Amino acid sequence: MGLFDSPSHVLIILVVLVVLFGAARLPKAAKSMGEAMRIFKKESAKMHEEDSSTPQVQSWTPEQVAAPQPQVAPQVTPQASTQEQMAALQKQMDDLKQQMPPAPGTPPATQHTNQP
């Protein structure tokens, strides 16, 4: 026998909810729950639309693979310039670390070599 099989069970649950939370809070709670469900449905629909709009993997035929491709000049990508910037910043940080005096109480930094 389930919880919502008879109307008396539903009525008892409603009375308990009204007593616990008060009559003024229940409509507000129901409204906020409805808004949350609406937002959830809208966002999930957007995700499904984005998934369907992404290009699918295309199968290649041997003729397409063997066809000569036109030569395109290499382009400078924003990622390459970002990597160059990161390398320059790393070099600056290394230079600053070498210029900083050691903190009091720490042994001086030594370089270890594998030469005898």
pLDDT of residue 38: 95
Token readout for 1 is 């026998």
Question: What is the model's pLDDT at position 32?
Answer: 92
Is the CB of residue 102 less than 8 Å from the CB of residue 109? yes
**AA letter at 2:** G
Total residues found in the chain within this entry? 116
Helices (H), the chain: 7-21, 25-53, 62-66, 78-99
Sign of CA dihedral 22, 27, 33, 35: negative
Quick: pLDDT tens for 13-37: 888 888 888 888 888 888 999 999 9
Statement: residue 43 has pLDDT above 80: yes
Q: Which two tokens stand for residue 37?
A: 């469900």
Cα separation, 20 vs 43, in Å, equals 33
pLDDT at 107: 62
Q: What's the pLDDT band for 42 if we cut at 50, 70, 90?
A: very high
Instruction: For the chain, give the percent of residues with pLDDT over 90.
Output: 12
pTM (predicted TM-score): 0.33
What tens digit of pLDDT does each residue of 88-115 get? 888 888 888 888 777 676 666 565 566 6
